[in-house]
Structure 1
Amino acid sequence: MKFVTSLLAIILTVTFLLYGETVAQDPEPEPEPIVCTDPNEIYDDCGPICGDRTCANQRKNDVVCRRACMEGCFCKGGYVRNKSRKCIPSYMCASMG
């Protein structure tokens, strides 16, 4: 019985050592940094999960979107997305018809 217990202990030790070595050799790759290309965008690690306001929905009050968040590039304050997905000042929406 002592032999079986010792053998089991050796097998478990070798298994843990091999597993630990495998994990150490395979690190997770670093995620690519998010770069905001529009000068009217800013990076936010917890922006609205529903995305930016647009000319069509800028006056909508959506509580759910404010409570959940996601990482990404979002329009600066006072800006909304137009149909071309560019951030424009919200007052320009009226002139776009």
Structure 2
Amino acid sequence: MKFLVLVLALIFTYTTLINGQCGENEVGDGCYNGCEPTCRDPHVSCIAMCGPGGCKCKPGYLRNSERKCVPEDEC
């Protein structure tokens, strides 16, 4: 069962990255684990562990309360 979940997560990640479904000011990261700085917590400490991948904010941008990536000075 765990193997199936892993395979499905990898397929989803690959499809998302290939199809360019990341939002504005986001980039695809094949190892993204869901931990990133936000406007509320710009200095969050993340564990350096590879996740299933996904979209994260571009450098210089932080995720706001609406889950959008905005320039740091707009937080």
Compute the TM-score of the two structures, normalised by the length of structure 2: 0.66
Is 1:79 the counterpart of 2:61 in the alignment?
A: yes
Aligned residues: 62
Contact residue 36 and residue 42 of structure 1 kept, 8 A:
no
More helix by share: 1
Deviating 4+ runs (over 4 angstroms): none
Give structure 1 stretches of 5+ with no counterpart: 1-27
Q: Which entry has the higher C-alpha Rg, 1 or 2?
A: 1
The aligned residue for residue 74 of structure 2 is: 92
Contact residue 80 and residue 89 of structure 1 kept, 8 A:
yes
The aligned residue for residue 58 of structure 1 is: 42
User: Aligned residues: percent identity?
Assistant: 34
User: In structure 2, do the counterparts of structure 1 residues 36 and 86 end up closer, same or farther at CA, with 3 Å as the change threshold?
Assistant: same
Contact residue 22 and residue 28 of structure 2 kept, 8 A:
no
